[in-house]
Amino acid sequence: MLFRKPACDWLIAGLGNPGDNYGKTRHNVGFRAVDALAKKLNVKIDRAKFRGLYTQATYRGQKLILLKPQTFMNLSGLSVMDAAHYFKLPPERIILLFDDISLEVGRLRVRADGSAGGHNGIKSVIGALNSQSFPRVKVGVGAKPHPDYDLAEWVLSNFTKAEEALLQPVIEDAAEAALTVVEAGVPAAAAKFNGRQP
């Protein structure tokens, strides 16, 4: 009997921390973006596996796995690696949605690869996959108020009301950007979403 690999074309993972108390923090915009994507595709991310929560969806004939690691941010790579190994996906077929403090709230940036840039979740994924060559959709959450401000305290803080108003459309754009990567590739997604004004 021949072994057939599980059918999947793309893994799309949103990074964040599990638990209601983290839900609206800056570090959890990846979870919010992948939730928006699930809503767009009319599925719920509610199955437990791969040290995370996941679901399956189809978009334009391509089979997707949507994943929310439940390992806490700094160990996100363990969950992403479990799913990637199970579905036998190379890094180039793994799209990461996550927060970026180097971008203003309301901004989005799509990239094909790159370093962790100080983001511990991405550092974990790079280490687990032994590769930086995965597409990413970065959602701006704003820089620290001043250089001495504790970074952990900043990314675990909530958005202001004004920031939330800017963030909402960008969460939707992040979901759409991931689908554009799936359908048309990273350059097309970057051309469409990078540099958009909030």
Reference 189, options 179, 62, 92; nearest CA is 179
Reference 137, options 169, 168, 98; nearest CA is 98
Q: From residue 101, how far is each of 117, 140, 143, 145, 155 by CA, in Å? A: 10, 6, 5, 11, 8
- C-alpha to C-alpha distance for 151 and 79, rounded to whole angstroms: 24
Whether residue 27 lies in the annotated active site: yes
Sign of CA dihedral 65, 8, 5, 128: negative
Indicate which residue of 27, 85, 119, 146 is catalytic.
27
Q: Do 79 and 51 meet the contact criterion of CB atoms below 8 Å apart?
A: yes
Q: From residue 40, how far is each of 11, 109, 116 by CA, in Å? A: 16, 20, 28
Q: Give the three-class secondary structure for 193.
A: helix
- C-alpha to C-alpha distance for 35 and 74, rounded to whole angstroms: 20
Residues labelled as active-site residues: 27
